[in-house]
Amino acid sequence: MARDKIYQEEEFPTPLMQLWHNFKQPPVVLIGFGCFLFLIVLAVLANVITPYSSVENHLDHLLLPPAWSDDGDVSFLLGTDNLGRDMLSRLIQGTSLTFGLSIIVVIASLAIGVVIGSLSALTTGIKSSFLNHFLDVILSIPSLLLAIIIVAILGPGLENTLWAIIMVLIPQFVHITRNAVREEFAKDYVLASRLDGASSIRILRYSIFPNIIEKLISQATLAQSAAILDIAALGFLGLGAPIPMPEWGAMLANGVDLFYIAPWTVYLPGLAILFSVVATNLVGEGMRHALKVRKEN
Amino acid sequence: MLIFTLRRFNLFIFTMLLLTILSFSLSFLFPGEQLINLTGQIDASPEQLAILADEYQQQSGLLSQYFSYLNHLFHGEMGYSMTSNLPIATEVLNRLPATIELTCVALLVAMFFGLPVGFCAAIYHRKLPDNLILTIAMVGYSIPVFWLGLLAILVFSIQLGWLPSAGQISLLFEIEHVTGLQLIDILLSDSPYKWQAFQDATRHLILPVIVVALAPATIFMRLARSAMLEVLDTHYIKAANAKGLTFSQIIYRHAMRNAVIKVIRDVGLQFANLVTIAMVTEVIFSWPGIGRWLIESIYQRDYTAIQGGLIVLSTFIFIVHIIIDFVYAALNPLAREPRNGKR
Residue to test with chain A: of B147, B226, B281, B321, most A Cβ within 10 A? B147
Do B165 and B304 lie in one domain? The reply is: yes
Out of A270-274, B123-127, B253-257, B333-337, least confident range: B333-337
How does pLDDT run across A193-210, given as a tens digit for each residue?
889 988 888 888 888 888
Distance CA A245, CA A101 (A): 13
Do B270 and B295 lie in one domain? The reply is: yes
Residue A1: band (very low, low, confident or very high) from pLDDT cuts 50, 70, 90: low
How does pLDDT run across B284-295, given as a tens digit for each residue?
888 888 989 988
Whether the CB of B306 is below 8 Å from some CB of chain A: the reply is: yes
Do B148 and B240 lie in one domain? The reply is: yes
Residue to test with chain B: of A31, A98, A140, A160, most B Cβ within 10 A? A140
Q: How many domains does chain B have?
A: 2
Q: Shortest CB distance from A225 goes to which of B142, B150, B276? A: B142
User: Could you say which of B51, B77, B103 is where a domain stops?
Assistant: B77
Residue to test with chain A: of B276, B283, B321, most A Cβ within 10 A? B276
Distance CA B164, CA B223 (A): 33
- Within a domain: residue B65? yes
Using DSSP's 3-state secondary structure scheme, residue B257 falls into helix
Model pLDDT, residue B339: 62
Put simply, the answer to whether B298 touches A239 (Cβ < 8 Å) is: yes
Residue to test with chain B: of A31, A39, A136, A149, most B Cβ within 10 A? A149
Do B130 and B194 lie in one domain? The reply is: yes
Alpha-helix residue ranges (DSSP H) falling in chain A = 15-23, 27-49, 87-94, 101-122, 126-140, 143-154, 158-185, 188-195, 200-202, 209-236, 248-255, 264-296
Q: Which residues of B touch A133 (CB under 8 A)?
A: 11, 14-15, 18
Judge contact between A184 and A208, C-beta under 8 A: yes
The residues pairing with A80 across neighbouring beta strands, listed in sequence order, are: A86
Measured CA to CA in angstroms, residue B257 lies from B173, B194, B229, B253, B334 at distances of 43, 39, 13, 7, 14
Distance CA A42, CA A143 (A): 28
Do B47 and B110 lie in one domain? The reply is: no
- Looking at residues B143-159, what average pLDDT do you find? 88
Whether the CB of B141 is below 8 Å from some CB of chain A: the reply is: yes
Do B73 and B92 lie in one domain? The reply is: no
What is the domain range of residue B32?
A: 23-77
* Residue B249 distance to chain A (closest CA, Å): 30
Do B33 and B105 lie in one domain? The reply is: no
Do B119 and B258 lie in one domain? The reply is: yes
- Within a domain: residue B267? yes
Put simply, the answer to whether B298 touches A277 (Cβ < 8 Å) is: no
Model pLDDT, residue B106: 94
Q: For the CA atoms of B287, B288, B292, B296, what is the dihedral angle to 10 degrees? A: 130
* pLDDT(A184) > 80: yes
Do B46 and B172 lie in one domain? The reply is: no
The model's pTM: 0.87
- Within a domain: residue B14? no
Computed on alpha carbons and rounded to an integer, the radius of gyration of chain A in Å comes to: 23
A172 or B179, greater pLDDT:
A172
Most confident of B52-61, B73-82, B265-274: B265-274
Q: Which residues of A touch B283 (CB under 8 A)?
A: 237
Question: pLDDT exceeding 90 applies to what percent of chain B?
Answer: 16
| 216-245 in chain A: CB under 8 A from chain B | 225, 229, 232-233, 236-239
Do B123 and B213 lie in one domain? The reply is: yes
DSSP letter string, A170-205: HHHHHHHHHHHHHHHHTSHHHHHHHHTT--HHHIII
Judge contact between B163 and B207, C-beta under 8 A: yes
- Within a domain: residue B11? no
Put simply, the answer to whether B146 touches A249 (Cβ < 8 Å) is: yes
Put simply, the answer to whether B154 touches A259 (Cβ < 8 Å) is: yes
Residue A101: band (very low, low, confident or very high) from pLDDT cuts 50, 70, 90: very high
Do B35 and B97 lie in one domain? The reply is: no
* ipTM, two decimals: 0.84
Model pLDDT, residue B343: 47
Judge contact between B174 and A293, C-beta under 8 A: no
Whether the CB of B139 is below 8 Å from some CB of chain A: the reply is: yes
How does pLDDT run across A15-42, given as a tens digit for each residue?
778 878 888 888 888 899 999 999 999 9
Which CATH number fits the domain that encloses residue B125?
1.10.3720.10
* pLDDT(B44) > 80: no
Q: Which residues of B touch A252 (CB under 8 A)?
A: 146-147, 150
Model pLDDT, residue B72: 81
Give the mean pLDDT of chain A: 85
* pLDDT(B342) > 70: no
* Residue B269 distance to chain A (closest CA, Å): 7
| Maximum distance among all Cα pairs of chain B, rounded to whole angstroms | 84
Q: What is the DSSP letter of B253?
A: I
Distance CA A173, CA A220 (A): 8
Using DSSP's 3-state secondary structure scheme, residue B277 falls into helix
- Within a domain: residue B8? no
* pLDDT(A110) > 90: yes
Distance CA A77, CA A80 (A): 9
Q: What is the DSSP letter of B154?
A: I
Phi first, then psi, for residue A288 (nearest 5°) are -65, -40
Model pLDDT, residue A153: 84
Residue B113: band (very low, low, confident or very high) from pLDDT cuts 50, 70, 90: very high
Residue B214: band (very low, low, confident or very high) from pLDDT cuts 50, 70, 90: very high
Q: How many residues are recorded in chain A? A: 297
Q: Which residues, other chains included, contact B61 with Cβ-Cβ below 8 Å and sequence gap of 6+?
A: none
CA A270 to chain centroid: 17
For residues B37-55, one letter each, b for 16 or more C-beta atoms within 10 angstroms of the residue's C-beta and e for the rest, the string is bbbbbeebeeeebeebeee
Do B59 and B168 lie in one domain? The reply is: no
Judge contact between A166 and A112, C-beta under 8 A: yes
* Residue A137 distance to chain B (closest CA, Å): 6
Distance CA B258, CA B266 (A): 14
Q: CA nearest B27 in A: which residue?
A: A153
Question: pLDDT exceeding 70 applies to what percent of chain B?
Answer: 97
Model pLDDT, residue B112: 92
- Looking at residues A167-179, what average pLDDT do you find? 89
- Looking at residues B110-126, what average pLDDT do you find? 91
Model pLDDT, residue B197: 80
* Residue B195 distance to chain A (closest CA, Å): 33
User: Could you say which of B77, B97, B114 is where a domain stops?
Assistant: B77
